[in-house]
């Protein structure tokens, strides 16, 4: 059974085992070079360390020439001067450390893997601000230099540059991203949609972007604490929906379950109801229980005993409640599987292989295509409780 890796950030890296499975069924994925934003400093659109933000662009071809997929990278958040100072010395805070990137899954240009989007223009925008492309402020770093919190300007400046590179004449467009990039997809969905004339089909596809404000096993609200810290430190405000801010504090309006209420563009939510990152890092993190008693369970849902499954099913119930508003939204879609995963669109193995979760006879790739191109009346799939779905073969 393929196992996706554990990782530090809220976005998986390829594990050897997974890579081996992928390579046995496909040629090596495309490596796409990094492009740095032009005039970044003048626009104040910079990474945490002041370096210009970067993105990868693979040009579309054939019938995909005027179709664009914009994919926002994820990788948690930084909510204190200390964590942002540390982040600044990684590729999640500085373009000096960024490299070319492999495109697979929804980003693949192989028609077998990605039959609906393979020939689109595809862009990955790298995540180097630590606030889901949404902050706008500056602060004093521990070393005395300036820490730049410019996520919102990065979003705006990179999108502006892409508009000049052909996005402005797109006939079809899709904004996606996973984890912190999935949350960013929700935060920027309305702005993305508003950039195009009415006749253009512009939609949003947040993957693993629904983070719940829950208590861990010891009663701590870790997600709230990280979001509250990030929102305050990085001055996240302009991006938040006005109708939410009229009733609620900013941190609450940063939650996906609030954001979905204010999004007007058609949106399909792809997420596991047992999101492995949230279960591992916010529901049952090390330290919230005695010793190592939960480690086997948080490593792999298949190891959870009945008491632990009750806790995980409580999480699932909150998750399903949190997205149920979508059921009544026309043009929206849901693909909520019960596999123990986090980020499923950007890996070929979970996107469309024989290991991809299947709901209503659809792989994720099929569900996203059917929804985007309106080939089926609705794609509103919510899986039954683990372990009822035999197609859940991946663990991540």
Ligand X SMILES: *[C@@H]1O[C@H](CO)[C@@H](O)[C@H](O)[C@H]1NC(C)=O
Q: Catalytic amino acids?
A: 179, 275, 342
Q: How many CB atoms lie within 10 A of CB 109?
A: 21
Report d(CA 86, CA 139) in Å as an integer.
14
| Least gap, CB of 171 to ligand X (angstroms) | 26
| Least gap, CB of 170 to ligand X (angstroms) | 26
- As a 3-state breakdown, the chain gives helix, strand, coil percent values, each rounded to 5, of 35, 15, 50
DSSP-derived pairing of the beta strands 201-207 and 172-178: parallel
Nearer to ligand X among residue 89 and residue 293 (C-beta): 293
Which residues contact ligand X (rule: CB under 6 A)? 25-27, 110, 112-113, 136-137, 228-229, 232, 235, 237-238, 293-294, 296, 305-308, 360-361
| Least gap, CB of 97 to ligand X (angstroms) | 26
Joined together, the tokens standing for residue 336 give 């909520």
Integer angstrom CA distances of residue 215 from 65, 221, 324 = 47, 5, 21
Report d(CA 15, CA 314) in Å as an integer.
30
Joined together, the tokens standing for residue 355 give 């290991």
Report d(CA 320, CA 362) in Å as an integer.
20
Q: From 190, 184, 183, select the one nearest 209 (Cα to Cα).
A: 183
Nearer to ligand X among residue 38 and residue 146 (C-beta): 146
Nearer to ligand X among residue 218 and residue 293 (C-beta): 293
DSSP-derived pairing of the beta strands 101-103 and 30-32: antiparallel
Nearer to ligand X among residue 286 and residue 325 (C-beta): 286
Nearer to ligand X among residue 227 and residue 319 (C-beta): 227
Joined together, the tokens standing for residue 137 give 């402020």
| Least gap, CB of 238 to ligand X (angstroms) | 4
| Least gap, CB of 160 to ligand X (angstroms) | 18
């Amino acid at each position: 059974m393929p196992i996706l890796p554990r990782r530090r950030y809220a976005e998986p890296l390829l594990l050897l085992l997974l890579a081996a499975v992928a390579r046995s069924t496909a040629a090596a994925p495309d490596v796409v070079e990094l492009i740095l934003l032009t005039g970044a400093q003048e626009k104040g659109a910079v990474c945490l360390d002041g370096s210009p933000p970067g993105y990868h662009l693979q040009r579309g071809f054939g019938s995909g020439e005027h179709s664009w997929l914009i994919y926002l990278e994820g990788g948690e958040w930084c909510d204190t001067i200390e964590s942002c100072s540390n982040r600044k010395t990684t590729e999640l805070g500085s373009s000096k450390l960024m490299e070319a990137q492999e495109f697979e899954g929804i980003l693949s240009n192989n028609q077998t893997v990605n039959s609906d989007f393979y020939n689109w223009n595809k862009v990955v925008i790298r995540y180097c601000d630590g606030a889901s492309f949404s902050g706008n402020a500056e602060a004093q770093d521990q070393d005395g230099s300036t820490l730049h919190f410019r996520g919102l300007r990065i979003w705006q400046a990179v999108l502006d540059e892409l508009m000049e590179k052909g996005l402005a004449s797109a006939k079809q467009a899709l904004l996606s991203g996973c984890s912190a990039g999935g949350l960013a997809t929700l935060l920027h969905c309305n702005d993305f949609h508003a950039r195009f004339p009415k006749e253009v089909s512009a939609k949003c596809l947040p993957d693993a972007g629904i983070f719940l404000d829950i208590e861990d096993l010891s009663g701590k609200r870790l997600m709230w604490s990280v979001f509250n810290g990030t929102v305050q430190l990085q001055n996240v405000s302009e991006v938040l929906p006005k109708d939410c801010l009229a009733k609620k504090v900013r941190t609450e309006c940063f939650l996906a379950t609030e954001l979905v209420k204010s999004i007007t563009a058609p949106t399909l939510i792809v997420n596991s109801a047992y999101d492995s990152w949230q279960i591992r890092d916010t529901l049952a993190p090390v330290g919230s229980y005695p010793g190592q008693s939960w480690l086997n369970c948080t490593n792999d849902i298949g190891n959870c005993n009945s008491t632990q499954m009750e806790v995980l099913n409580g999480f699932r119930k909150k998750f399903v409640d949190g997205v149920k508003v979508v059921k009544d939204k026309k043009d929206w879609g849901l693909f909520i599987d019960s596999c123990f995963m986090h980020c499923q669109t950007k890996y070929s193995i979970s996107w469309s292989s024989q290991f991809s979760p299947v709901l209503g006879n659809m792989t994720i790739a099929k569900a996203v295509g059917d929804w985007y191109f309106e080939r089926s009346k609705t794609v509103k799939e919510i899986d039954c409780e683990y372990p009822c779905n035999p197609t859940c073969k991946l663990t991540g």
